[in-house]
Chains A and B, each alone.
Chain A
């Protein structure tokens, strides 16, 4: 197989995996097969899982493909959530638009645009920096977005949207109420729409990676100086990855926000950015399929551990550390390779152990 065919194969596997998972979930939801049903808590998790998958894949575009550590991805998500909630509320209250899928679609597009604008504004200063400094500035922007959104009030009065800053008393119906976040949200997110968004994200990201621009982005990641010297516009390509990622995060935010009746800005703390980063790293940096699997498993894991209530986050932390140690420590990786070799029934050579 040529390189191109291999890539196509790999992409098809990714699409296929998501589609099969979707069909299995739909079957379980419909309950048409006896004894194959989804638990209530898992049902409630379906839309969030879709949103987290999109978040993880989009962050992977920045961290894995573009090679910049971003610690403020939740900021873009919150921009998407709140703009999506406001647009959806506005369309419902001012124009009596009852058609839910259309409203959700419009909300997601507007959310993507808003997050994209935020991405451009933040990208211009951020992408001038490098390494840890870039990481801390994205962290700072994430916190700034959260702090500012904490003070924004948006109400709908008739057909008008009324904006306020630190003014809790506005006329009309509240859509965005400062620290309380988006209130009175009409829950219109559906699992089908989540699936559509994941597929859209995959098409965008996988095509970007396999395009000329994608190769340029990866070249810049591998060696900025070499890429510059062959005439690649570093800022342009970095910006492309950063803004695409922001747009997708915004859309995921809208999907996530419109799944709950209220979403507070405190939901999008620094911890949330880290959570998404954990999905990306555990799934494998630069590995899109890995991100999808990690996001799914790590969203379900705390729910499954709910029986242990107090211990569940503890277990989560331990799992995180152990996975990082086993996959990255040369000593443990060598041991793991030896065990694998024994299982396969052949003598393990030292060389293989080192290569893992």
Chain B
């Protein structure tokens, strides 16, 4: 039982990281209708920036995280401007391939700058572990910080998209670009803003991910990226609460699957659950059903 609770905590923690990454995917998908495959690699860049800030330049963790967020935001906006904006009207496959090219580019730039050897990432949370139930259940401070960060981000984002003018503009653009333009919304700026927010979240996710699993190398972002994308689809792509729910469920399923079913088949288990969910509910858990018109 205690063992189960401990696995559950780990699962929710990992799931929270997936959720934060999935938020970036889902927002970008909602507004630009594209699968941003480079998102996973923005996570990796964010983690490297934070790593450098802490190890080489001696900044405190908080400043390092902020530095990573700033760099990733700039990176996200630049990528959007250079690679995706010219393809706004191109087929979705063309955009997808460009995103994949961008992903390779980021990985290889990281390989050149930081080398292929894995770096050991220092935790950004310098606190001890929380011990409960007479020391039987130990929850690391990373877990607590990750879950808290996830909840805070979720609340802030929901408020942002429902209350502020910019957030509302984002929702309008995702619904109908043409109509938004007619209403005087700056569509390009709104899309840039979405990329900026998504990339800043990716930086946070990168730091949290590497705090919990401290090996950092140029391919670190790839697998979490794919899983977070799966999480976004799982919860219903385009939906912010869906990304959250999908991410956490996916993390829990992965950890429990690895613990109780098979270590090797953990990932297969995650994807199998996704397939079952999509077969029962093809638009994901919280996705909207779009009726096709002739």
Contacts and interface: CB of A to CB of B under 8 A. Distances in A.
B1 interface: no
Given A136-B233, A144-B271, A310-B111, A321 B283 contact: no
A329 B90 CA distance: 7
A134 to B, nearest CB: 9
B140 interface: no
B268 A144 contact: yes
B97 interface: yes
Interface in A314-345: 314, 316-318, 320-321, 324-325, 327-332
Interface stretch (A23-31, A97-105, A125-133, A181-189): A125-133
Nearest to A326: B86
Interface residues of A, number: 47
B117 to A, nearest CB: 14
Interface stretch (B46-54, B167-175, B204-212, B274-282): B274-282
Contacts of A199: none
A157 interface: no
B101 A320 contact: yes
Which DSSP category, helix, strand, loop or mixed, fits chain B's interface?
helix
Interface in A120-150: 125, 128-130, 132-133, 135-137, 139-141, 143-144, 147-148, 150
Interface string A213-230: 000000000000110000
A230 to B, nearest CB: 13
A69 interface: yes
Nearest to B284: A133
B232 to A, nearest CB: 9
B90 A328 contact: yes
Contacts of B89: 330
B104 A285 contact: no
Given A225-B292, A311-B112, A63 B265 contact: no
B75 to A, nearest CB: 15
Interface in B83-110: 83, 86-87, 89-91, 93-94, 96-98, 100-102, 104-105, 107-109
B214 to A, nearest CB: 23
B87 A329 contact: yes
A316 B282 contact: no
Interface string A284-314: 0100000000000000000000000011011
B174 to A, nearest CB: 15
B108 A317 contact: yes
A151 interface: yes
A321 B98 contact: yes
Given A278-B97, A320-B101, A330-B89, A133 B268 contact: no
Interface string A6-24: 0000000000000000000
B121 interface: no
A321 B278 CA distance: 32
A140 B93 contact: no
A328 B91 contact: yes
A274 interface: yes
Given A281-B97, A321-B98, A324-B87, A137 B108 contact: no
A136 B105 contact: no
A139 B229 CA distance: 11
B138 interface: no
A317 B104 contact: yes
A270 interface: yes
B272 interface: yes
Given A285-B93, A331-B86, A313 B108 contact: yes
Contacts of A327: 94
Given A314-B109, A320-B101, A331-B86, A166 B264 contact: yes
B98 A143 contact: no
B202 interface: no
A148 B272 CA distance: 11
8 contacts: A69-B96, A129-B279, A144-B271, A144-B272, A151-B262, A277-B100, A317-B105, A329-B87
Given A147-B267, A324-B98, A324-B101, 4 more contacts: A310-B112, A317-B102, A328-B87, A329-B90
Interface of A: 63, 69, 125, 128-130, 132-133, 135-137, 139-141, 143-144, 147-148, 150-151, 166, 225-226, 270, 274, 277-278, 281-282, 285, 310-311, 313-314, 316-318, 320-321, 324-325, 327-332
